[in-house]
């Protein structure tokens, strides 16, 4: 809506003059203008990705272990890790796009999984962005529809004005509009603050003048002080409840005298799915804060209807006038943390809110649609451009919605948690398996002066291990009911302990096989002919045990409980194991061993699978 400017007021760069003339003095240019400050905030916003930091920490951990053991092996280098991460994130992004959420930055997916505060705008996201008529206060009219009819006659449907559309839509009998011909129409003017229409009845030739506009303006058309007071009191009461007010009057004597018919109340109703989505967010550990440019009363009323907290502050009153978003006072930081939302916000307020919450350790998602929202969208861990957002907002956002409403964001967060769980399970598996291979080679060389794997075995094993792992991006997974983020201490502790027991598993089989070679007949049920066959045994043990370990790491409960592995992952592993067994039985690339020996190795690995699963559950219980 146009805003009236008077002598001494400021007009921001980029403003458009709708009507009138005025001499202005330029007081700021470039980055010192209001628009320039917004652009400057966009340039300064941004942060490091937790996924990048996590990958560096995982890589550094494996490098340190490799240095300590003083061995460099092809199989110990996590060459598939970046590929698995990228494929998982890319397929996750594809899945999100099917659910009306387009990812512009892959790293934002894992950031979404950890979101614990969602700063949402009101109009169009929490509400329908469609003005709707509420209760009508009658002044001189006998029926609410009489007031609405005159308001509709003072409207032009072709203008597609949201207020006109709301009034026309509320009229039950639309046919009465066809009985009148509009002779003259005076559109809304920021000075007069009203719309006026001159109409003639097609049947009776009766003339009618209809007006609707700001109640304060319409009230002045009446000479009755009591009527004026009632209109103004009604307007104040509606404002306190967060409603807009529209006065309606008619005249039948060419506008010489006016009859005040009543006051229409208007509001932007909440979306049908908003309350349920907010309740779902609460259950999933996400706090939703309302950030809006509307009046405080409107924000509080909307919050009540949605079941949100009503501790909403007027940003223009609580934020300093010359706010430095990078240096927020301590008392204001506390207020931001405790508030359920802010009204009357400006771009620097949104930016400061996001940065303050991040400083307090939160992972923040922020929604927006305008150019002024760009700094906050870029600074947020998960900046979200809502449906219909400007190009500037889309460029700054990490997530772009193609469908209105908050439910799309909540769905995206749920999907992100699934993706994060897949990456976490793979990370634990990869670290544990790498430790197993490295320690096995080093310890067998030191203790037995024996190389358990040949060069060709290492290459084949790497391929057999990594190819099925690519399908982990499709795996079914448990969805966490609270925000999840990279807990490197927990991940590395879990993977290290599992790695140690995996080493024990491999070393035990190696010692049994080695004793069988050196002392033939000493172990009747497990007889190994020579050291070459022992290498094949260790090759098969690592291939089979590695994939069984993945079934253990993919969830924190028993591996045979729901959610079951995705069919593509399960069958990829089955096919890989069949190939490995055939290679060992037929002597492809490796010395041949008997079918009975292959079965014994599988029984041994399955037994250890249960042991490792118990250890996994104990670790999870202790670390909670």
Annotated active-site positions, please? Answer: 121
Q: What angle do CA 213, 217, 220 make, to 5 degrees?
A: 135
- Asked if 415 contacts 483 with a C-beta cutoff of 8 angstroms, the reply is no
Task: Give the Cα separation of 122 and 410 in Å (integer).
Answer: 16
Looking at 350-496, which runs of residues are DSSP E strands? Answer: 364-368, 382-385, 399-401
Task: Give the Cα separation of 112 and 135 in Å (integer).
Answer: 41
Rg of the chain taking only CA atoms, in angstroms: 35
> C-alpha 562: how far from its chain's center?
26
Q: Which of 360, 348, 350, 356 is nearest to 384 (CA)?
A: 350
Q: In this structure, how many other beta carbons lie within 10 angstroms of the beta carbon of residue 82?
A: 11
Task: Give the Cα separation of 506 and 587 in Å (integer).
Answer: 22
Q: What angle do CA 69, 73, 77 make, to 5 degrees?
A: 95
One-character DSSP codes across 61-125 = HHHHHHHHHT---TTTS-TTHHHHHHHHHHHHHHHHHTTTEEES-THHHHHHHT--EEEE-STTT
Structure token pair of residue 318: 């609580």
3-state secondary structure of 320: coil
């Amino acid at each position: 809506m146009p805003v009236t400017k008077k002598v001494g007021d400021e007009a921001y760069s980029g403003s458009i003059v709708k009507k009138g003339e005025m001499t202005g003095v330029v007081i700021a240019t470039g980055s010192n203008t209001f628009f320039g400050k917004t652009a400057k905030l966009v340039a300064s916003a941004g942060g490091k990705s937790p996924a990048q930091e996590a990958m560096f920490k995982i890589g550094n951990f494996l490098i340190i272990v490799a240095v300590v053991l003083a061995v460099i092996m092809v199989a110990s280098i996590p060459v598939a890790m970046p590929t698995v991460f990228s494929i998982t994130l890319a397929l996750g992004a594809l899945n999100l796009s099917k659910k009306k959420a387009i990812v512009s930055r892959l790293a934002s997916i894992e950031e979404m999984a950890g979101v614990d505060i969602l700063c949402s705008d009101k109009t169009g996201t929490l509400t329908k962005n469609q003005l709707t008529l509420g209760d009508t206060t009658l002044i001189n009219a006998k029926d609410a529809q009489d007031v609405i009819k005159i308001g509709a006659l003072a409207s032009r449907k072709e203008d597609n004005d949201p207020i006109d559309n709301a009034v026309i839509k509320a009229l039950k009998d639309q046919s009465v509009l066809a009985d009148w011909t509009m002779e003259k129409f005076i559109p809304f003017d920021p000075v007069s603050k009203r719309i006026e229409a001159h109409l003639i009845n097609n049947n009776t030739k009766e003339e009618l003048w209809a007006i609707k506009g700001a109640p304060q303006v319409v009230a002045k058309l009446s000479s009755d002080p009591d009527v004026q007071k009632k209109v103004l009191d009604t307007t104040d009461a509606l404002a306190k409840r967060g409603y807009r007010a529209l006065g309606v009057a008619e005249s039948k004597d060419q506008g010489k005298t006016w009859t005040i018919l009543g006051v229409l109340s208007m509001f932007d109703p909440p979306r049908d799915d908003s309350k349920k989505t907010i309740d779902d967010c609460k259950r999933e550990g996400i706090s939703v804060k309302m950030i809006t440019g509307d009046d405080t009363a409107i924000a509080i009323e909307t919050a009540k209807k949605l079941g949100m907290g009503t501790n909403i502050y007027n940003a223009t009153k609580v934020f300093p006038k010359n706010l430095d978003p990078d240096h927020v006072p301590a008392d204001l930081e506390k207020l931001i943390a405790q508030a359920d939302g802010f009204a009357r916000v400006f771009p620097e307020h949104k930016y400061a809110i996001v940065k303050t919450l991040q400083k307090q350790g939160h992972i923040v998602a922020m929604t927006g649609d305008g150019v002024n929202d760009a700094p906050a969208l870029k600074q947020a861990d998960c900046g979200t451009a809502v449906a219909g957002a400007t190009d500037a907002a889309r460029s700054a956002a990490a997530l772009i919605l193609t469908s209105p409403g908050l439910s799309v964001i909540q769905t995206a967060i749920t999907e992100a948690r699934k993706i994060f769980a897949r990456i976490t399970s793979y990370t634990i598996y990869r670290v544990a398996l790498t430790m197993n291979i490295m320690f096995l080679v080093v310890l067998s060389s030191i203790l037995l002066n024996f190389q358990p794997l040949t060069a060709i075995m290492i290459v084949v094993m790497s391929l057999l291990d990594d190819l099925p792992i690519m399908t982990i991006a499709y795996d079914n997974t448990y969805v966490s009911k609270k925000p999840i983020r990279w807990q490197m201490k927990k991940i590395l502790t879990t993977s290290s302990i599992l790695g140690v027991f995996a080493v024990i598993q491999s070393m035990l089989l190696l010692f049994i096989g080695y004793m069988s070679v050196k002392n033939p007949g000493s172990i009747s049920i497990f007889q190994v002919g020579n050291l070459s066959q022992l290498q094949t045994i260790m090759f098969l043990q690592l291939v089979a045990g590695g994939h069984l370990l993945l079934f253990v790491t993919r969830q924190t409960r028993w591996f045979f409980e729901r959610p079951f592995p995705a069919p593509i992952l399960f069958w990829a592993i089955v096919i890989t194991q069949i190939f490995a067994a055939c290679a060992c039985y037929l002597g492809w690339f490796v010395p041949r061993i008997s079918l009975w020996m292959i079965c014994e190795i599988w029984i041994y690995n399955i037994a250890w699978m249960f042991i490792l699963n118990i250890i996994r559950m104990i670790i999870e219980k202790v670390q909670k």
